[in-house]
């Protein structure tokens, strides 16, 4: 069982490419980085569970059902608090980028305390643990709650995966840096981009460019923080509707790059979460780093074609894209 810990939010977005100011109705889905990862993993055939805190009301129960719908275990959820977090998404179009507005202050997760989570029980039988840098940003208590979870992971040798996923709207670099450095120390796999490697971890290349620069960033992160593997994601935006995405995985002194995927965008939210799910899936399946990062990047690319926060796809569908010579999806008769 892969245990994913974080906040699930209600996402409200105007239909199509309407702006928030134009909206007189909203499409509603539930999502959040860790929940999106759990849903994608369940689609790949991996048992996954979400750990969060929901209010025991109609909205909390609806959010729980949305997870169960995709095969995610919800038995480890804590119940309490008065509200679920909300975010409003204005989808970009042409030269206008997407916009996100948060309404999550005072949410059930933000008001959680250590007593809400029995990590010895929650992590019993876990094959991996996943969190992002969004979760410790939500309250002063959550970094300590995560430290409690990581202590159990260390004692049981449960591999820990973390996506830094820094959000400037939630906390400053000065507050985030010491927290993320502590939480990331000694974990199995850290996903980060070049900017946040420098901003939060103080790691920047001393020389070189291209793959040499990326490899230097990764090796320094691994050495300074005792992290086994470093994954990096890359995005080139031509417009709000066309992006090129790719990834890299550093392990044992070698850098493995995926091919780039130029993707028309239906919904870009959750692409990084699909990448995280791909990394975890390939790792637990025992794949080599090259195949793992190619699968993760293909999952990221494929997510851009799916409405909602989470990738809804099977392992076979992602492999079909990852293993196609020209990067296109083949049709099945």
Active site residues: 273
Nearest alpha carbon to residue 11 among 102, 131, 82, 106: 102
- Phi and psi for 212 in degrees, rounded to 5? -65, -40
Q: Which two tokens stand for residue 143?
A: 């970094």
50's enclosing H/E stretch is strand 48-51
How far is the first Cα of the chain from the last one, in angstroms, to the nearest whole number? Answer: 34
C-alpha triplet 304, 93, 86: angle, nearest 5°: 70
Cβ distance 94 to 241 under 8 Å?
A: yes
Residue 206 has a CB neighbour count (10 Å cut-off) of 7
Strand-pairing partners, residue 128, are 2
Q: How far is CA 70 from CA 58, 97, 332, in A?
A: 19, 30, 23
Q: Measured between alpha carbons, how far is 53 from 63 in angstroms, rounded to an integer?
A: 11
Q: How far is CA 306 from CA 5, 164, 299, 309, 310, in A?
A: 23, 23, 11, 8, 8
Q: Measured between alpha carbons, how far is 31 from 37 in angstroms, rounded to an integer?
A: 10
């Amino acid at each position: 069982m892969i245990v994913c810990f974080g906040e699930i939010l209600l996402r409200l977005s105007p239909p199509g490419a309407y702006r928030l100011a134009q909206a007189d109705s909203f499409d509603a889905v539930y999502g959040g980085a860790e929940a999106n990862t759990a849903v994608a993993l369940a689609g790949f055939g991996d048992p996954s569970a979400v750990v969060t805190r929901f209010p025991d009301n109609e909205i909390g129960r609806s959010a729980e059902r949305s997870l169960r719908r995709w095969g995610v275990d919800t038995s480890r959820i804590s119940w309490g608090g008065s509200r679920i977090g909300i975010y409003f998404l204005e989808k970009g179009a042409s030269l206008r980028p997407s916009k996100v507005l948060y309404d999550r202050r005072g949410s059930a997760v933000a008001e959680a305390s250590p007593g809400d989570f029995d990590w010895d029980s929650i992590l019993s039988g876990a094959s991996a643990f996943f969190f992002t840098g969004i979760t410790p940003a939500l309250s002063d208590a959550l970094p300590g709650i995560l430290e409690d979870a990581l202590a159990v992971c260390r004692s049981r040798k449960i591999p820990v995966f973390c996506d830094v996923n820094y959000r400037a709207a939630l906390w400053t670099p000065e507050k985030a840096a010491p927290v993320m450095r502590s939480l990331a120390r000694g974990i199995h796999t850290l996903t980060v981009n070049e900017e946040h490697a420098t901003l939060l971890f103080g790691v920047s290349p001393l020389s070189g460019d291209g793959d040499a620069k990326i490899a230097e960033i990764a090796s320094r992160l691994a050495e300074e923080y005792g992290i086994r593997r470093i994954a990096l994601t890359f995005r080139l935006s031509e417009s709000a509707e066309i992006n090129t995405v790719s990834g890299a995985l550093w392990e044992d002194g070698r850098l493995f790059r995926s091919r780039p995927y130029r993707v028309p965008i239906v919904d870009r939210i959750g692409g990084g979460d699909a990448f995280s799910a791909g990394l975890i899936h390939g790792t637990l399946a025992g794949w080599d780093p090259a195949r793992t990062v190619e699968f993760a990047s293909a999952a990221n690319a494929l997510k851009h074609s799916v409405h909602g926060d989470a990738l809804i796809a099977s392992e076979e569908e992602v492999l079909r894209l990852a293993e196609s010579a020209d990067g296109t999806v083949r049709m099945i008769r």
